[in-house]
Amino acid sequence: MRFNHSAWRVRLLFVPATPSPLSSAQSQLPCGIRLRTEPITRRSRYLSTTYGPPRASMEAGDVRGGGLSHSALDRLPAPPKIPMRSRDERKAAMSSDLILDGMVGSNIKLERRIFCNRNVNMSTVTAVGFDQDYTLAQYRPEEFETLVHTLTVDKLVQVFGYPEMLYSLDFDWTYMIRGLTIDKQRGNILKIDRHKYVKVAYHGFKQLSRSARLNTYTRVSVRDALDQPDKYTLIDTLFSLAEAYLYMQLVELKDEHPELLPGAKSYADLYRDVRGAVDLCHRDGTLKRVVAADPERYIHKDPALVPLLTNLRRSGRKVFLATNSLWDYTNVVMNFLLADRVGAAKNDAWLAYFDVVVTGCGKPSFFKDLKPLFEVHVQSGMLYNTDGGSPMIPVGQDDLPELVVELRNEQLEVPGLSNGALKSLENPATVPKS
């Protein structure tokens, strides 16, 4: 069989896998798909799927205008009819507990699956790190975001001097999404595409007209960069949703009743106050104390976390936790998620799921700035004064105090905290970076 170098195509004829009077140049596949090739210069009445070599020979009467003759087509059996499913049937199949992808079945529900557009070769990954908040700990937005809004309003009234009528403001936790941008100078919230084009703009909760939007952000002699931190801020975390909603409420209050605000507040001043009130809720522990008192109300319990962390460690990889939360709150959340313990029942057994735990990271600067590490005594939550990861001998003494030595010996015997993990903590250079 010879082939020339001219372009060629492949034909797929979907017919039952039964004998039929086709020419010898057609290859029959077990699944009932017959493969047929012909030069691309010929006109085809069938679906062309890819390119292939030309036919070596054809029997007389098999070809007419690049395809089968009418007599040959008449001898082909009719293809089987595939029943069409209704829209409701297709929707039910997609939401079924058992989703088949054509090759293997999975009992993971569709909403819990992870889809990606890039493969990762896990054989080259030696350490896997997790954040805590909104990563391992998935907060219930209807409860947690409402709590953030309520506590922030309280700080604005009690600390920043805003009127008590703010307590009557409602909160819709479904309204905001991540990826929006706040224009602090104008009191607007923007939807920007990847080309820095403002597609949608709201002032408070009122959408700007197309002409107003273009005149503000497009038809200007000098366009803003839209990423200047003094003028714009990005809603890039789930923690920012409640504060963005509250900021929009204050924008409308300024427009309708500016006399109610403390002093002559600009839109930028409003955002600065909201941001300061939210930070104060985190700094003074107001927010986390409420969550720690009833973690089940504010945090989803995920039964897949323990198998996930266990399988990663069994695979030989190092697993670490790096969170901005301090030890006391981390201990509460991890006990609830990994050990199902709350209140006085908390212990440190959850440390067994990690090789290294770093709290109070201060990310993202944690990954680029060299900061001293302080060792945590897990029973008391106290910090050891350290230099390069090792406890320092106090000035005027020849050795560490006996209490510190005893505490360190206790920590070495904590179940799940391996010597290797402690050595990694003692040497900051060995702490894995994600």
Range of the domain at 352: 125-139+298-394
Residue 338 in contact with residue 146, Cβ under 8 Å?
no
Tally of domains in the chain = 2
Same domain, 288 and 159: yes
Same domain, 180 and 304: no
Q: Is residue 323, in this structure, part of any structural domain at all?
A: yes
Tell me which of 294, 314, 335 is where a domain ends: 294
Burial track 262-288 (b if 16+ CB lie within 10 A, e otherwise): eeebebebbbebbbebbebbeeeeebb
Q: Is residue 353, in this structure, part of any structural domain at all?
A: yes
Same domain, 236 and 341: no
> Which stretches does DSSP call E strand in 209-344?
232-234, 318-322
Q: Is residue 73, in this structure, part of any structural domain at all?
A: no
DSSP state of 137: B
CATH number at residue 389: 3.40.50.1000
Q: What are the helix (H) ranges across 51-133?
A: 70-75, 87-94
Same domain, 153 and 285: yes
Q: Map residue 376 onto helix, strand or coil.
A: strand
Q: Is residue 103, in this structure, part of any structural domain at all?
A: no
Q: Is residue 76, in this structure, part of any structural domain at all?
A: no
Neighbours of 383 (CB within 10 A): 13
Same domain, 168 and 251: yes
What is the spatial distance between Cα 254 and Cα 266, in angstroms, rounded to a whole number? 8
Same domain, 290 and 145: yes
Tell me which of 272, 294, 316 is where a domain ends: 294
Same domain, 243 and 310: no
Angle between helical axes of 141-158 and 286-293 (0-180°, round to 10): 140
**What confidence score (pLDDT) does residue 269 get?**
94
Same domain, 340 and 260: no
Same domain, 231 and 364: no
Q: Is residue 309, in this structure, part of any structural domain at all?
A: yes
pLDDT tens for the chain, 434 residues: list them: 444 444 444 444 444 444 444 444 444 444 444 444 444 444 444 443 444 444 444 444 444 444 445 565 566 666 666 566 677 776 665 554 444 444 345 677 777 777 778 888 888 899 999 999 999 999 999 999 999 999 999 999 999 999 999 999 999 999 998 899 999 999 999 999 888 889 999 999 999 999 999 999 888 776 777 777 888 998 888 888 999 999 999 999 999 999 999 888 999 999 999 999 999 998 888 898 999 999 999 999 998 899 999 999 999 999 999 999 989 899 999 999 999 999 889 999 999 999 999 999 988 888 888 887 888 878 777 777 666 556 666 666 676 666 555 555 554 433 343 334 434 444 434 434 43
Neighbours of 94 (CB within 10 A): 9
- Which residues are designated catalytic? 131, 133
Tell me which of 236, 263, 294 is where a domain ends: 294
Q: Is residue 53, in this structure, part of any structural domain at all?
A: no
CA angle 323, 366, 301 (to 5 degrees): 15
Same domain, 145 and 287: yes
Give the residue carrying structure tokens 């990310």. 363
Q: Is residue 26, in this structure, part of any structural domain at all?
A: no
pTM of the model: 0.64
Same domain, 145 and 277: yes
Same domain, 264 and 316: no
**What confidence score (pLDDT) does residue 395 get?**
67
Give the residue among 13, 2, 20 at the shortest CA–CA distance from 44.
13
